[in-house]
């Protein structure tokens, strides 16, 4: 018999290849000594397993509590969206619907500023809907960026913030909601004084708001509605909707 001392790697490999080793040698379990993961003191195998079970239990508890918190927040948000939908459906006129929309976006969703811009000429003027037809390059840039029912969230350059909002100086992040199913007739723009609307902002509830607002106001933009300007700008006045990095969006102008 060889007197060579086994290397730790050899013992580890043997136990890995023979997981039933301790079935035939249970007495060895009582002699095993393992370090405590926090104190380093020697403890038994059973004590070590109990410690691992407690750690797993604590991790699972944190995960469950996190999921419950998210579910609760989503439930509250869904209730606010349904409250907004009920108000829009109950509105007797488009003017009343637009006024209620801005009020509830501010009260229910804590939106600092909101505005509706239309690309097309409505069949009649409605207070609260601005016509973004003064510059073809703006319309072209937005048309190239947006897709129906796909919100755009992020931080924009100062020029765009000032153009989209009355007081764009204080806006640091925006969410642009395209209005229209197959063809975009306008946008609902939400502005925040912080970086709330980041690129990874959840879009599910935003798409619901898109659909609700479009359903209420699309009657103003029928097939005969004429664009205020052609969406294609001339080569001399092309513009690009540029996004700034979130880290620089909060810097004072």
Domain of 169, CATH number, reads: 3.30.450.40
Give a yes or no: residue 132 inside a domain.
yes
Give a yes or no: residue 48 inside a domain.
no
Cβ–Cβ under 8 Å, residues 210 and 177: yes
Number of domains making up the chain: 1
Q: Return per-residue pLDDT of the chain as tens, 253 residues.
A: 456 777 878 878 887 888 887 777 777 766 776 676 667 666 666 676 787 778 888 888 888 888 887 788 888 888 999 999 999 999 999 999 999 999 999 998 889 999 999 888 888 889 999 876 556 677 777 777 788 888 888 888 888 888 888 877 788 889 999 999 888 899 999 999 888 887 555 688 889 999 999 999 999 987 554 444 444 444 444 455 555 554 444 444 4
Backbone angles phi, psi at 28, to 5 degrees: -70, -25
Give a yes or no: residue 206 inside a domain.
yes
Domain residues for the domain of 211 are 111-248
Give a yes or no: residue 238 inside a domain.
yes
Give a yes or no: residue 218 inside a domain.
yes
Give a yes or no: residue 145 inside a domain.
yes
Give a yes or no: residue 225 inside a domain.
yes
Q: Which residues contact 138 (CB under 8 A, 6 or more apart)?
A: 132, 163, 239
Give a yes or no: residue 37 inside a domain.
no
In Å, what is the CA distance from 201 to each residue of 58, 128, 196? 29, 26, 8
Entry pTM: 0.66
SS (H, E, C) 114-170: EEEEECECCCCCCCCEEECCCCHHHHHHHHHHCECCECEEEEECHHHHHHHCCCHHH
Question: CA–CA separation, 217 vs 208, rounded Å?
Answer: 15
């Amino acid at each position: 018999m060889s007197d060579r001392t086994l290397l730790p790697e050899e013992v580890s490999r043997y136990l890995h290849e023979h997981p039933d080793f301790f079935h035939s040698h249970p007495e060895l379990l009582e002699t095993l000594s393992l370090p405590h993961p926090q104190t380093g003191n020697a403890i038994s195998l059973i004590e070590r397993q109990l410690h691992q079970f407690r750690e797993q239990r604590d991790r699972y508890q944190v995960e469950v509590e996190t999921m419950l918190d998210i579910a609760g927040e989503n439930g509250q948000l869904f209730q606010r969206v349904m409250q907004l939908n009920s108000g829009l459906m109950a509105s007797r006129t488009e003017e009343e619907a637009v006024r209620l929309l801005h009020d509830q976006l501010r009260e229910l969703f804590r939106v600092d500023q909101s505005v509706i811009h239309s690309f097309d000429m409505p069949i009649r003027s409605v207070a609260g809907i601005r016509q973004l037809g003064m510059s073809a390059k703006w319309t072209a840039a937005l048309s190239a960026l947006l897709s129906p029912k796909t919100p755009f969230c992020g931080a924009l350059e100062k020029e765009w913030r000032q153009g989209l909002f009355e007081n764009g100086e204080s806006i640091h992040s925006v969410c642009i909601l395209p209005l229209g199913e197959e063809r975009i007739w306008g946008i609902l723009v939400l502005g925040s004084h912080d970086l709330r609307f980041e690129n990874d902002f959840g879009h599910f509830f935003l798409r619901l708001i898109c659909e609700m607002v479009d359903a209420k106001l699309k009657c103003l933009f029928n097939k005969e509605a004429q664009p205020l300007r052609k969406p294609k700008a001339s080569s001399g006045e092309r513009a690009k909707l540029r996004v700034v990095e979130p880290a620089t969006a909060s810097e004072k102008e």
